[in-house]
A and B are shown apart, each in its own frame.
Chain A
């Protein structure tokens, strides 16, 4: 039982490049989320998926797209990376009334 698995752990991109951050959970959770964490700003919601087949924007969705491929997997895509997207990205999943289970994070640097 791995919980929430994120790949890659580290990534450096050049401005304008694209990439997809992968997230998978094996806990049969319905809801999945992508957050970004920046110094002094806490965790801000980018996109979420309340259940398989649905996605919706969070607080800071600009520059990102998501795909809920199936119940297990929720990917985050940066189509044209910008330096402002340098951040640590966390995927999380949840079911019922308990708090989130987070993945280990992806540290992304855009140069």
Chain B
């Protein structure tokens, strides 16, 4: 089955710096790659997603890139702010109808003022 690895497990940056979180997946048939943000004690919430027919997607300060050949995808956050501090999860799934997500183990991002 699919396996998703996520690095780093923790990431500390200064406010205004950029942060990059990387994930690799094992199943070349995977075609959907969402990213979730989970604040302390809250539910995971979708922040951005990308499909396999797209190499990059951007939404304001966040962007996701996908390299299908290498089977890895990354989350980029620019101009980080303290409110970006949270745990971020990547995930992967395949199929066009029903899908079940396989999650990475999460990255705790701490943005210091």
Contact residues of A with B, CB < 8 Å? 30-31, 33, 35, 40-45, 48, 50-51, 58-59, 90, 94, 97-105
CA distance A85 to B98 in the complex (A): 27
Interface on chain A toward B: helix, strand, loop, or mixed SS?
loop
Contacts of A103 in B (CB 8 A): 43
User: A42's contact among B1, B45, B100, B103, by CB below 8 Å, is which?
Assistant: B103
Contact residues of B with A, CB < 8 Å? 1, 6, 9, 32, 34, 36, 42-46, 49, 51, 89, 91, 96, 98-106
User: A99's contact among B9, B36, B102, B105, by CB below 8 Å, is which?
Assistant: B36
CA distance A103 to B44 in the complex (A): 9
Contacts of A40 in B (CB 8 A): 9, 105-106
Name the residue of chain B whose CB is nearest to the CB of A50.
B98
B103 touches A43 (CB 8 A): yes
Decide: A99 near B51, CB < 8 A? Known: A33-B100, A42-B106, A50-B98.
Answer: no
B36 touches A48 (CB 8 A): no
Name the residue of chain A whose CB is nearest to the CB of B1.
A59
The interface centre, meaning the residue of A44, A99, A101, A104 with most chain B CB atoms within 10 A of its CB, is A99
